[in-house]
Amino acid sequence: MTPKKRPLILITNDDGIHAKGIRALIQIMQKIGDVVVMAPEEPMSGMSHSITSLIPLRARLIEKKEFYQEYACAGTPVDCVKLAQHLFFQEQKPDLVVSGINHGSNASINIIYSGTMGAALESSMNGFPSIGFSLLDYSKDADFLAAEPFILQIVEDVLRNDLPKNVCLNVNIPAVKTEEIKGIRICRQANACWVDSYENRIDPRGHNYFWLTGDFKANGITEEDDIWALDNNYISVVPVQYDFTHYECIDNLKGRLENV
Amino acid sequence: MTPKKRPLILITNDDGIHAKGIRALIQIMQKIGDVVVMAPEEPMSGMSHSITSLIPLRARLIEKKEFYQEYACAGTPVDCVKLAQHLFFQEQKPDLVVSGINHGSNASINIIYSGTMGAALESSMNGFPSIGFSLLDYSKDADFLAAEPFILQIVEDVLRNDLPKNVCLNVNIPAVKTEEIKGIRICRQANACWVDSYENRIDPRGHNYFWLTGDFKANGITEEDDIWALDNNYISVVPVQYDFTHYECIDNLKGRLENV
């Protein structure tokens, strides 16, 4: 099966419509498909799977030309997916949703805080094949195009072969030159956590405020983990789903809590 | 093993410090433990696992007396857990974190949007036994105390037996009288999604805005699912974890994408 001519691709992110990462992703995707962009007006880092329900949403047209439409949405990344679906995909579904390229890692436990991956998960919940891309580089000069051949390889594979229902991909890219990328590795989400701290400060009026800081702590990393792949200059690809059930616990808890 | 005398309990929620649901949970927990409350200043429904990192956080003391401290935090439910840990639990960890009682269901796929469950998951990531409670009633007159005996049963079980590392409980309560609750069922997260829509409106200046609406759609519900339990007047308890990896996909994707 060959990919359709000019697939319809929705692009979003969590760093906002002006971010360098989404500009690179738009540039890459325009080479292969018709593109609709719906991304947050403002940076939405750490917004996870949050939605706007207490206030209404707005969207603003930025550019519209043949094969390309771009909108900014005054909401979260997940809002962007939901609103784009409502406005543009009632009849023709997108062939692919890509989210990113995120400025910074969404490997391991970072996925749970990630708006980039929130949008990808939401897309897969709506039945759209979807991929979140992140680059492990926070610097202003980050090179979002270094991994372009690999991004195209992954995108073209998903367009050709699809993904299982309710599964999307969490793709993280090491911050190295194209020729230093060793290839792609399919991984599991590494077991890790943030050991948080806050920097306490006092404002000019004498009141306390707190800045979040923290150290990333990985546990027992093996070659199967995304963290290992990235540390070794591979692109990590984790197939991701959203059933939170811990099945192994069910029987034990049944014995303790059910009165049946 | 008997529970410690006066366990130390952190309480948070996503409906905000003034919500009726957290007031009921505080009332119940004060019967068995020393309580610290750190809850959002404002309603934070649908905030999922989001964190505040682009601006600093603030917290405000509301009440402090023997065995009880209450603070409001200008952040998300997950921020509340992180900041409470920083301020109060450096030396003595909480014996339990309870989140809720949420106004409305967090069963099935609602967990992924839920700030109540975001706080519970964050707590378990920090090594604290934690439980999210939700009542399937949005009305002003919702009776958050009807399930008190069951809430105490679950809490006392967790204090006595603990939970496996990285697991917390998602507890949902049907909106019925105490005597109509048939008992507790240990369940899996039902397969369901929201079929979203937006109501388009036009503001007085002629601009479009959009209100999120939607229909909940469950797929192939069986007696193992939380939705079934709730529909049949049981309290549903789902053990919950945060490894998003879809392990079954890994081998197939290796064959397609790895160049090793």
Q: What's the pLDDT tens digit per position in A170-187? A: 999 999 999 999 999 999
Classify residue B217 by burial, with Cβ atoms within 10 Å: 0-12, 13-18, 19+: exposed
> Using CA atoms, how far apart are residues B253 and B244, in angstroms rounded to an integer?
16
> Using CA atoms, how far apart are residues B98 and B39, in angstroms rounded to an integer?
11
Q: Is B48 a residue whose pLDDT tops 80?
A: yes
Residue B150 in contact with residue B133, Cβ under 8 Å?
A: no
Percent of all residues in chain A with a pLDDT value above 70, rounded to a whole number: 98
Q: Report the C-alpha dihedral over residues B178, B183, B187, B189, rounded to 10 degrees.
A: -10
Contacts with B109 from chain A: Cβ below 8 Å: 125, 242
**pLDDT band per the 50, 70, 90 thresholds, residue A259:** low
Q: How far from B239 is each of A26, A46, B110, CA to CA, in Å?
A: 40, 25, 15
Contacts with B245 from chain A: Cβ below 8 Å: 188-189, 238-241
Q: Which of B59, B207, B244 sits opposite A111 (nearest CB)?
A: B244
Tell me what pLDDT residue A5 has. Answer: 76
Q: Is B5 a residue whose pLDDT tops 80?
A: no
Closest A-chain CA to B52: A46
pTM above 0.80, yes or no: yes
Tell me what pLDDT residue A4 has. Answer: 53
Which of A1-5, A105-109, B109-113 has the weakest average pLDDT?
A1-5
Average pLDDT of chain A is 95
**pLDDT band per the 50, 70, 90 thresholds, residue A192:** very high
Average pLDDT of chain B is 95
Q: Is B2 a residue whose pLDDT tops 70?
A: no
> Cβ–Cβ of A253/B212 closer than 8 Å?
no
**For residues A20-44, average pLDDT:** 97
Closest B-chain CA to A151: B257
Q: Is B4 a residue whose pLDDT tops 70?
A: no
> Cβ–Cβ of A238/B259 closer than 8 Å?
no
Closest B-chain CA to A251: B186
> Using CA atoms, how far apart are residues B109 and B195, in angstroms rounded to an integer?
12
Size of interface A-B (CB pairs under 8 A): 221
**For residues B160-171, average pLDDT:** 95
Summarize pLDDT for A118-165 with one digit per residue, the tens.
999 999 999 999 999 999 999 989 999 999 999 999 999 999 999 998
**For residues A247-257, average pLDDT:** 95
Q: Could you tell me which of A169, A183, A186, A255 has the C-alpha nearest to residue A226?
A: A186
Q: Which residues of B153-166 are buried (b: 16+ CB within 10 A; e: fewer)?
A: bbbebbbeeebeeb
Tell me what pLDDT residue A140 has. Answer: 87
